[in-house]
């Protein structure tokens, strides 16, 4: 039997049930797939935060304009703020290309005196309950996670998001059970600020506690959508997959030189399952 025929058999035995989860058919030869450990980021790969971030920008901008207009009205030489509210597409393109919030505020019509107020307002509201409700699962995530789990992969979430928030969202969508472990922070601002050092320490702890060492690191991957994920994976000596469905563009991710760049978690899962099967079968 050729390598191609064996690969087709592997793929044919992986089926989706009516509820969108992945299951293995009876008799599936699990030994064909070497066990992988997949460390996965949350915001970006699993959850789409673009609506929340845009709403945060919009609200912070209008709150800033309102505050300064009220402040300046009594002054004889008042200057009315002329705002240019970016569309979501314009805003998200800037975020994906790492345009700083300060520059986004400037291009939206705020002067230097107002920008600090705007930035503080962003920090105050980005994680408020009403805006957090705007987060939603990325397309294909249920399938992707189920596929990896069905093939025997260990799924470990490593996120800068507040751990309890992440667990709550996963439980809401019935995905918590798919993860062997969840590592997060107690800092509500860590995810928005994207601290690479904190991500690296979280990944280091996760690898240590799940016995991922130099001897088996070739069977481990870090999947994420930002420089923090790629830099953390590189620092810990494991391969990385950067996803363009999150808050960084393809050009930005290319500069980071991850092992692979994929469109989303489903594409990454198909690659890992296919490559893993080919390596064993070949």
What CATH number does residue 43 fall under?
A: 3.40.50.1000
* Res 194 pLDDT > 80: no
Residue-averaged pLDDT of the chain: 84
Quote the pLDDT of residue 78. 36
State the total domains in the chain: 2
Last residue within a domain, chosen from 93, 113, 132: 132
* Residue 108 pLDDT class (50, 70, 90 cuts): very high
Pairing of strands 136-137, 47-48: antiparallel
Task: Report the pLDDT averaged over residues 185-207.
Answer: 85
Give the pLDDT band (50/70/90) at residue 73: low
- Same domain, residue pair 87 and 197: no
Rounded CA separation 178/166 (Å): 13
Range of weakest confidence among 41-55, 79-93, 143-157: 79-93
Q: Could you say which of 132, 156, 171 is where a domain stops? A: 132
Percentage of the chain lying above the pLDDT 70 cut: 80
In terms of domains, do 119 and 67 share one? yes
Contact present, 229 and 242 (Cβ < 8 Å):
yes
Cα separation, 151 vs 149, in Å, equals: 5
Clarify whether residues 110 and 164 are in a common domain: no
| Whether 104 and 163 share a structural domain | no
Domain range spanning residue 87? Answer: 50-132
Residue 50: is its pLDDT beyond 50? Answer: yes
| 264-275 average pLDDT score | 93
* Separation between Cα atoms, residue 264 and residue 12, nearest integer Å: 22
Q: What is the DSSP track for 192-250?
A: HHT-HHHHHHHHHHHHHHTT--TTTGGGEEEEESSHHHHHHHHHTT-EEEEETTSSS-H
- The reply to whether 10 and 71 lie within a common domain is no
Which one of 103, 132, 161 terminates a domain?
132
* Claim to verify: residue 141 and residue 155 sit in the same structural domain: yes
Residue 13 pLDDT > 70: no
Residue 102 has pLDDT above 90, yes or no: yes
Question: Is the per-residue pLDDT at 74 higher than 60?
Answer: no
Same domain? For 228 and 111 the reply is no
Whole-angstrom CA distances from 220 to 131, 204, 216, 268, 269 are: 34, 13, 7, 13, 13
Residue 191 has what pLDDT? 67
Provide the 3-class DSSP secondary structure of residue 127.
Answer: coil
Q: Are 158 and 223 within one domain? A: yes
Average pLDDT over residues 143-153: 95
Whether residues 106 and 45 share a domain: the answer is no
On whether both 195 and 275 belong to a single domain, the answer is: yes
Per-residue confidence (pLDDT) for residue 9, from 0 to 100:
39
Q: Are 166 and 37 contained in the same domain?
A: yes
User: Can you list the positions of beta strands (E) in 51-129?
Assistant: none
* C-alpha span between 209 and 5 (Å, rounded): 38
Tell me if 10 sits within 8 A of 193, measured CB to CB: no
* pLDDT one-digit tens code per residue, 197-246: 999 999 999 999 999 987 888 899 999 999 999 999 999 999 999 999 99
Do 143 and 245 share a domain, yes or no? yes
């Amino acid at each position: 039997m050729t390598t191609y025929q064996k690969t087709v058999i592997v793929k044919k035995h992986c089926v989706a049930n009516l509820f969108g989860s992945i299951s293995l058919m009876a008799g599936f030869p699990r030994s064909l797939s070497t066990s992988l450990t997949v460390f996965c980021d949350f915001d970006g790969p699993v959850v789409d935060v673009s609506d929340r971030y845009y709403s945060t920008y919009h609200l912070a901008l209008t709150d800033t304009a309102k505050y300064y207009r009220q402040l300046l009205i009594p002054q004889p030489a008042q200057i009315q703020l002329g705002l240019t509210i970016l569309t979501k597409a314009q805003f998200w393109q800037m975020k994906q290309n790492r345009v700083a919030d300060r520059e986004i505020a400037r291009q939206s019509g705020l002067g230097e005196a107002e920008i600090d107020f705007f930035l503080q307002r962003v920090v105050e509201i980005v994680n408020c309950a009403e805006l957090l409700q705007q987060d939603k699962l990325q397309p294909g995530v249920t399938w992707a996670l189920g596929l990896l789990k069905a093939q025997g992969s260990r799924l470990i979430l490593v996120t800068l998001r507040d751990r309890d928030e992440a667990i709550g969202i996963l439980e809401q969508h019935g995905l918590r059970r798919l993860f062997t472990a969840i590592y997060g922070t107690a800092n509500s601002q860590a995810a928005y600020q994207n601290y690479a050092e904190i991500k690296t320490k979280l990944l280091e702890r996760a690898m240590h506690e799940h016995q991922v060492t130099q001897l088996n690191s070739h069977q481990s991957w870090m999947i994420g959508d930002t420089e923090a994920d790629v830099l953390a994976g590189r620092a810990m000596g494991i391969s990385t997959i950067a996803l363009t469905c999150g808050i960084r563009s393809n050009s930005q991710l290319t500069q980071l030189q991850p092992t692979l760049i994929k469109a989303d978690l489903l594409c990454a899962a198909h690659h890992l399952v296919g490559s893993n099967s080919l390596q064993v079968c070949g």
